Amino acid sequence: MAVYNRVYCPKCKKEHSVYNENLREIHCGGCQTEIPLKNQKNFFIEYYAHGRRKREKIGSSRTLAETVLKKRLVEIAENKHLEVKKEEKIKFEDFAYEYLELHSKVNNRSWETFDLKHIIILKRFFAGRLLQEITPHLIEQFKAERAKSVKPATINRSLAILKSIFNKALAWKKFSAANPVREVKLYKENNQRLRFLEKEEIGRLLMSCDGYIKPLVIVALNTGMRLGELKQLTWREVDYKRETIYLSKTKNGQAREVPMNEFVKTALVQIPKHPDSQYVFCKQDGKPLGDIRKTFWTALRKSGIKEFHFHDLRHTFASHLVMSGHDLNTVRELLGHKTIQMTLRYAHLSPKHKKHAVDNLAQVYVTIWTPDEQTQIKGPNNILASVSNT
């Protein structure tokens, strides 16, 4: 157990380990050249742990090397010294592929439309770098670059996948440092979107839908089912006799029964069944639908509807239920939410419906004031005076 200085012969480049700190020069055993030690400071420590000799490079300070050596000896004495192995050098894109195959495909039904999409984005930026080279500072650079072209919510989804990748690298013993994403602050998001379709917009959208997208939109509008649930819907889960769709796999992991109205039944009956597929909405090869954005955006463009996403059909379903007078708990059950708090963000009211509500309130107030006071209210300048006298 010692500190030594590793020096090199300036002539033959042979390596020498010098343990005696009092020496000022040595002679090369190969070429007999005199090697001054004054300007060569490359200190290592040497010790034994678990019966094996360990060597660690420290740097140009002998004092620091001696301090580190003492620390290692204390760790060994307290049985805290772990077998140190050189960390496997893994490139980000290689581990991202392993993550996709062993985690995403196994645990996430929407891996193809979510995990894969964000992993492709992450690989474009981090490809060629080792996991150990990805730092919080580098991730901040990724955030800044992405912020030039996408919204904060999209960046946050990518960071969530990146964080999960590093968590798995830690769990699978492929990475030993702290997760760098933990040191990166997420963007603040505004999730309370008030976008849903009015009745007139619903009609325009349906008139603009062609092919498979039309029954998909009809079922979404009348059930509030998520796109992922629709893509995975099988004929076995559709019960025409009980007028119910049975969803065994949902976002929150709980099975859900979805009642069918006449619009849903008609739309489903008109869909031709694929002879080799169990899925209601499938591609020509029988596999579940993939990315539908291009087809859906075409329908939106033809209908003149802007700032709208497929998931907003779920907002539309919930909003019109509320505007029709249904209580929030019923809406919660239909949406499959665990808590009423989650349902509140879907319980938006249209401006027209709000106006109708305050008009009804005015009719209630009419009964409060006397006929003389009602006459005063007719003039805008007398409103405050009449209210102050009540």
Q: Look up residue 4 and give its two tokens.
A: 């030594």
HSE (side-chain half, CA atoms, 13 Å) at 182: 5
Residue of 103, 214, 231, 314 with catalytic role: 314
251 is annotated as an active-site residue: yes
Round to whole Å and give the CA distance between 293 and 216: 13
Residue of 72, 231, 320, 337 with catalytic role: 337
CB 109 within 8 A of CB 84: no
Round to whole Å and give the CA distance between 135 and 132: 8
Residue of 311, 326, 345, 353 with catalytic role: 311
Round to whole Å and give the CA distance between 192 and 194: 6
72 is annotated as an active-site residue: no
326 is annotated as an active-site residue: no
Q: Look up residue 12 and give its two tokens.
A: 């033959």
Q: How many CB atoms lie within 10 A of CB 248?
A: 11
CB contact set of 84 (below 8 Å; sequence gap of 6+): 49, 54
The residues that bridge with 53 in the sheet, in sequence order, are 48
CB 344 within 8 A of CB 374: no
Q: Which residue has the tokens 């590093």?
A: 166
Helices (H), 246-370: 262-269, 293-303, 312-323, 328-335, 340-344, 351-366
Q: Look up residue 43 and give its two tokens.
A: 């200190």
Residue of 251, 265, 309, 326 with catalytic role: 251
Residue of 256, 279, 346, 348 with catalytic role: 346
Terminal alpha carbon distance of the chain: 95
Residue of 226, 231, 315, 348 with catalytic role: 226
315 is annotated as an active-site residue: no
Active site residues: 226, 251, 311, 314, 337, 346
